[in-house]
């Protein structure tokens, strides 16, 4: 059994986040998640200015073609456009609903992970004591078991975060980060595992099974702890299902193609007789921009673990879990919850 004898762990940078207990560096390559109030006009323009410029140029170009070039019947009939807009609006509404369901399920799973982690910490620190478990001889031995089990759980939630963002691969830098929670021998075994999170839960179950005896009281404690491990398995499986189950490729392809075709047709169908009617040009640009933006938002919400600005803030949730578990162990930690930076949370 591995015991960390250090009172203050040394934090190192993993692939996505500096978990320094003192400060969070401002690094432009770090991916962040927008929180409430984080979207501003300037941020929206910075992210979408190319699309807006494209449709503005298309609208102006359409007016120029209609007014100055000898092209007959440049303007397309507007009645079919209205039918297309109605049909595409219904289609995009369905897409957004399905995408939001996936995004919200991901957030619910990680919220459940926080709650289950707190419950597991409470169960381990209050049930696995020298008064209830015969194999635990004194309070010092109980504290060592508590630390081993909860440190392994902190490693579990962080590896789940990294795996969801990286597609299941952990770098050497990630493994160095995990060295503060896991012994070197266990890390060596985990590097060859097909699913690291599953093996960590398997290790937890083995330790608990070996620790508890055969009498009725200890078996009841084991059952409670095992139910928490089962919940962690369910959460892991739910996250992996969202990560690996993508929308059908043809659905994505046709949606994007039809939206862009409709957006390009809008200026040709709404040409006004007045030369460079500013109000009409702004309306055409915004209408085309609206459809493209909604389609892109739906695409981003469908995959909430890709480390984009609308994704689940897993880094902040992992930090919350670590702080809670360390406090349940009675440790004095300098870790602080991750705070939003410029309206976004990692």
Lowest mean pLDDT among 72-81, 257-266, 280-289, 296-305: 72-81
- Report the C-alpha gap between 312 and 301 in whole angstroms: 10
> Pick the residue with more confidence: 169 or 110?
110
- The domain segmentation of the chain, as residue ranges, is 1-30+104-246+314-346, 31-71+248-302
Question: Mind listing the pLDDT tens digit for each residue in 234-257?
Answer: 999 999 999 988 776 677 777 888
Long-range contacts of 62-68 (CB under 8 A, 24+ apart): 62/267, 62/268, 62/271, 62/284, 63/271, 63/275, 63/276, 63/281, 66/271, 67/275, 67/276
**Is residue 2 predicted with pLDDT exceeding 50?**
no
Indicate the pTM of the whole model: 0.80
CA-to-CA distance for 192 and 195, rounded, in angstroms? Answer: 9
Q: What is the mean pLDDT of the chain?
A: 82
345 phi and psi, to 5 degrees? -125, 135
Instruction: Give the burial string for 215-227 (b: 16+ CB within 10 Å, else e).
Output: eeebeebbeebee
* Distance between CA atoms of residues 252 and 239, nearest Å: 21
Buried b (16+ CB within 10 A) or exposed e, 288-315: bbebbbbbebbeebbbbbebeeebbbbb
What pLDDT, in 10s, does the model give residues 32-61? 454 555 556 666 667 777 888 888 888 888
């Amino acid at each position: 059994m591995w015991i960390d004898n250090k009172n203050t762990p040394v934090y190192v940078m993993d692939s996505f986040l500096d978990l320094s207990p003192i400060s969070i560096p401002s690094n432009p390559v770090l991916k962040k998640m927008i929180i409430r109030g984080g979207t501003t006009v300037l941020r929206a323009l910075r992210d979408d200015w190319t699309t807006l410029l494209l449709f503005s140029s298309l609208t102006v170009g359409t007016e120029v073609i209609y007014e100055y070039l000898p092209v007959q019947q440049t303007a397309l009939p507007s009645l079919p456009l209205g039918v297309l807009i109605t049909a595409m609006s219904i289609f995009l509404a369905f897409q957004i609903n399905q995408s939001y369901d996936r995004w919200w399920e991901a957030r619910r799973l990680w919220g459940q992970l926080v709650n289950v982690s707190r419950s597991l910490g409470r169960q381990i620190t209050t049930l696995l004591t020298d008064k209830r478990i015969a194999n635990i001889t004194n309070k010092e031995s109980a504290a060592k078991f508590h630390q081993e089990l909860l440190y392994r759980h902190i490693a579990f939630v962080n590896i789940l975060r990294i795996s969801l963002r990286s597609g299941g691969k952990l770098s050497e830098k990630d493994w160095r980060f995990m060295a503060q929670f896991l012994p070197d021998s266990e890390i060596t075994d985990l590097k060859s595992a097909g699913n690291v999170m599953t093996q960590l839960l398997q290790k937890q179950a083995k330790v608990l099974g070996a620790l508890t005896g055969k009498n009725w009281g200890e078996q009841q404690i084991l059952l409670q702890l095992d139910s928490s491990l089962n919940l962690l398995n369910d959460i892991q499986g739910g996250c992996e299902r969202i990560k690996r189950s993508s929308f059908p490729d043809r659905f994505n392809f046709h949606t994007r193609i039809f939206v862009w075709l409709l957006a390009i047709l809008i200026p040709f169908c709404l040409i006004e007789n007045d030369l460079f009617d500013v109000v009409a040009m702004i309306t055409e640009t915004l209408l085309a921009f609206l459809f493209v933006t909604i389609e892109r938002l739906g695409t981003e919400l469908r995959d909430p673990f890709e480390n984009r600005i609308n994704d689940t803030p897993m880094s902040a949730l992992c930090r919350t879990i670590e702080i809670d578990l360390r406090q349940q162990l009675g440790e004095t930690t300098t870790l602080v919850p991750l705070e939003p930076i410029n309206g976004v949370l990692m």
